[in-house]
Amino acid sequence: MYGARSDADPLLDDAAYSDARSDVLAALNDDLNVPHMVGLLNRYGSHRLWLEFDAVLGLDIAERTGRRDEELPPDVASLVELRNSARQARDWNESDRIRDELVAMGYEVGDGPSGTTVRRRPL
């Protein structure tokens, strides 16, 4: 699956993705059984799953396939906008609250000259 590019991810259903993610993580937690983990990644054929576990594999899949992280879900994008507004207004308590909410949702949060940046936390 690593070299293949398909816009149709077979694990679009969040429940199916969660089950597949659990299987792959279990293989990784089984004495770092990377061969089994890679076999499961191939079997599931999900680009999203490969991207998540690339943090372990170090294959730079997003760079090699020309695909970056997927677009943020609307609720996350909305929180990022709210956080940027709070930071501009120097409302640090609200900014911190929103950051904590994003972290609880599984995102890494950073601040830079262009505002808040978020990306899905690997594993």
Q: Answer yes or no: pTM beyond 0.85.
A: no
29 burial (CB, 10 Å; 0-12 / 13-18 / 19+) is: exposed
Q: What is the pLDDT of residue 68?
A: 55
pLDDT of residue 59: 86
Q: Which residues of the chain have pLDDT under 50?
A: 1-6
pLDDT of 119 reads 82
Q: What is the 3-state secondary structure (H, E, C) of 102-114?
A: HHHCCEEEEEECC
CA-nearest of 87, 7, 76, 74 to 46 is 7
pLDDT of 6:
46
Q: What residue spans define the domains of the chain?
A: 14-65, 74-120
Amino acid 60: pLDDT: 82
